[in-house]
Amino acid sequence: MADIALEGKSGKVVIKNIGLLLSGNIDQPILEADTIVIFDGIIQAVGKFKDVDTSSAKTTIDVHQTCVAPGLIDSHVHPVFGDWTPRQNQIGWIESTMHGGVTTMVSAGEVHLPGRPKDIVGLKALAITAQRTYDNFRPNGVKVLAGAPIIEKGMVESDFKELAESGVKLLGEVGLGSVKAGNEAREMVAWARKYGIQSTIHTGGPSIPGSGLIDKDVILEADADIIGHINGGHTSLPEKDVCELCEKSSRAIEIVHNGNEKVAIAAAQAAIQLKCPHRVILGTDGPAGSGVQPLGMLRLISLISSMGSIPAELVFCFATGNTAKLRQINAGLIEVGRSADFVFMDRAQHTSGKTLLESVQLGDIPGIGMVMIDGIIRCGRSRNTPPATQIPEVIGH
Ligand SMILES: [Zn+2]
């Protein structure tokens, strides 16, 4: 079950009777549409049922007036090989996370590999191997964008060129290797950028024995594309430094579940006050010392919306479209031409919130009724979330 054939195509799929359509687009988080038409995994049309061509569908799904949103994108994970994590010696964590609504994960470095090579040839070989293996292996359809080398002292421009030409598109967290000084990091981040490799920098105190402190001055000087776990992973910089980073840098503000929750709220609110909510992206930083959290993304959305008093429909954009745009991922938005990767949700049974969005703003997490990746149903009612009040129904094959 874990390895769904990549060849399988969805054919024509119609999703109808949508009660709430979250777009993932921070400029217009809710769409006035009740139907999505998909062909072979790609969104073909979004609109009112009467206005779109729903004829001769291979699969029709009646959502029963519940919510459809883009599948969640976890901007910060640490995969290693397959659906196994040595961090907690657990198998099936990616497949289980799909039951938490995650359809794409982005590696911030395969750092948990036992005996991880730190020499330059070895770290490049690992990155290329990780990129290839996850390109070929998608646990229950989840897209894992991996192959994120941890940069070390001694790397030169041609190393970045070689990585890029080999298919590597990401740097692992800058600061987890021997490059910890701002000026050194800045040079390598710029080489990476020159060859189309996106960079993320570790922010805050050491995560585990062996890693170190990266403070705000190093982050500003390095100028990586993403201020990784701005709320610490787990130990945070002082709240005032985090707010200063939001203000002085124009780079992505990444907030993670395995970080300081108080500072998570402060960073999200700072972005709203600075009128740059499009910069906020969410991740888990899992697997982590505190475990594997299949509901980490949903818990973080609910935390930021409830404690930060930010409308839930905006926070869902932090976890979907914002990340897709900043990372050039062809999912995360309900838009013609994007991948049909969706999470179907309803208010959890017996939440005090009267609607899905209200329940999230009150601090509850939604119930998931279905997850779809590339137009293919990957699970029905989630085994991990509290039960959704109403779930979608497949009414025609
Ligand atoms: Zn980190």
The token pair at 16 is: 């109808």
Closest alpha carbon to 74 in 236, 275, 241, 301: 301
pLDDT at 3: 46
The token pair at 121 is: 């040839």
Give yes or no for a contact between 340 and 330, defined as CB atoms under 8 angstroms apart. Answer: no
Cite the DSSP H helix spans in the chain: 93-98, 120-136, 157-165, 182-194, 216-222, 239-248, 261-273, 296-308, 312-318, 321-327, 356-361
The token pair at 277 is: 């909510």
Q: From residue 27, how far is each of 24, 31, 334 by CA, in Å? A: 9, 11, 13
- For 94, other C-beta atoms within 10 Å of its C-beta total 27
Three-state DSSP state, 169? coil
Give yes or no for a contact between 383 and 140, defined as CB atoms under 8 angstroms apart. Answer: no
pLDDT at 2: 42
pLDDT at 207: 79
- Protein residues placing their CB within 5 Å of the ion ligand 1: 173, 202, 207, 233
How far does residue 107's CA lie from ligand 1's centre (Å)?
11
Maximal CA-CA distance, the chain: 62
How far does residue 190's CA lie from ligand 1's centre (Å)?
20
Cis, peptide link before residue 202, omega less than 30° from 0 = no
- The list of the chain residues with pLDDT below 50 reads 1-5
How far does residue 251's CA lie from ligand 1's centre (Å)?
17
The token pair at 235 is: 């130990």
How far does residue 204's CA lie from ligand 1's centre (Å)?
8
**Alpha-carbon gap, residue 99 to 366, rounded angstroms:** 12
* Identity of residue 110: E
pLDDT at 396: 77
How far does residue 222's CA lie from ligand 1's centre (Å)?
15
Give yes or no for a contact between 269 and 242, defined as CB atoms under 8 angstroms apart. Answer: no
How far does residue 341's CA lie from ligand 1's centre (Å)?
27
Closest alpha carbon to 227 in 188, 267, 262, 260: 267
**Alpha-carbon gap, residue 43 to 41, rounded angstroms:** 7
| Sheet bearing 252-256, strands edge to edge | 200-201, 226-227, 252-256, 280-283
How far does residue 269's CA lie from ligand 1's centre (Å)?
22
pLDDT at 210: 73
**Alpha-carbon gap, residue 236 to 233, rounded angstroms:** 7
**Alpha-carbon gap, residue 268 to 130, rounded angstroms:** 32
274-307: per-residue pLDDT in tens? 999 999 999 999 999 999 999 999 999 999 999 9
pLDDT at 5: 47
Say if residue 188 is exposed, middle or buried (CB neighbours under 10 Å; 0-12, 13-18, 19+).
Answer: buried
How far does residue 285's CA lie from ligand 1's centre (Å)?
7
Cite the DSSP H helix spans in 17-153: 93-98, 120-136
72-118: per-residue pLDDT in tens? 999 999 999 999 999 999 999 999 999 999 999 999 999 999 999 99
